[in-house]
Amino acid sequence: MNTVKTGLLLSAMTGLFLAVGFLLGGEMGMVLAFVFAVGTNVFAYWNSGAMVLKMHNARQVDKSSAPAFYGLVERLARQAELPMPKVFIIEEDQPNAFATGRNPEHAAVAATTGLIASLSREELAGVMAHELAHVKHRDTLIMTITATLAGAISMLANFAMFFGRGRNNPLGLIGTLAMMFLAPMGAMIVQMAISRTREFSADKGGAEICGNPLWLASALEKIAMGSKAHVNEAAEAHPATAHMFIINPLLGGRLDSLFQTHPKTALRIAALEKMADEMNIRPKTVWTPSGPKSAKSVRKQNSTRSRKPSGPWG
């Protein structure tokens, strides 16, 4: 359903682009704007991953520098049947995470120190599985296409004063001015709707990867609360990256839900709880190196050991 909805929203944005292009700039204005927008976003597609990681001062880690966290991502990637992504940690108190990269072969996942410190190992598994689901679904590509169309529509609006008086424009001056403001707003609304749709899809995919939707549901609740308690200075300085995070990192909160890049957390949690119910999963399973197991079986296994278990990281 989410895939169908994304396709319909992309079709709507494409239709909006074609309509605005024809009304405001005729064929020439439409072509010029589209070529420029495509060029800009192709550059972003190939370089945005490294740029975003640099914006947030992320440092790459490996098995030796962060064995627990790296090992968790490695096992989840194996369960998702994905190539091992690059792994980054961001020195930031706000709990959050994101994925980037143009495709699964060139992907990276990043988590803040606040996230790693505040979540249980099961909850952290749920979050990183969500990010790997973004990679598996190629959401970076989808959002790049969306940004290309949104950028083209905005450029057409800027070209309105130059091309808007052409013979193909039946709107008149008032209509042209109105379109200059309404078209980019419409594109932004569709772009954010696509972003919200992809979050629901990644929640479902992440739950399937880690094996328990309730782990991610619990994590989302904690992250939503923690994100309000800490200011993410890098995210505030670069608000265009907000849609990449698992929870909106910005503290503004002044815009109507129509303009939010993320679904309401309560709706996401409800969807995950429904998924867990359908899978007949109760909140009594924990993460182990070999995957999810019932808490009862883990306690029984641990009772036979003379030493404390090393945890889910191996």
The set of catalytic residues is 131
Among the listed residues 147, 148, 159, the one whose alpha carbon sits nearest the alpha carbon of residue 29: 159
Sign of CA dihedral 129, 133, 206, 150: positive
Q: Give residue 103's region: left, alpha or beta (phi > 0; psi -120 to 50).
A: beta
Looking at 109-238, list the stretches that DSSP marks H as alpha helix, in order from N- to C-terminal side.
113-118, 121-136, 139-158, 160-163, 172-210, 213-229, 233-237
Joined tokens for residue 174: 């008032």
Instruction: Please give the DSSP secondary-structure letter assigned to residue 21.
Output: I
The residue behind tokens 């052409």 is 166
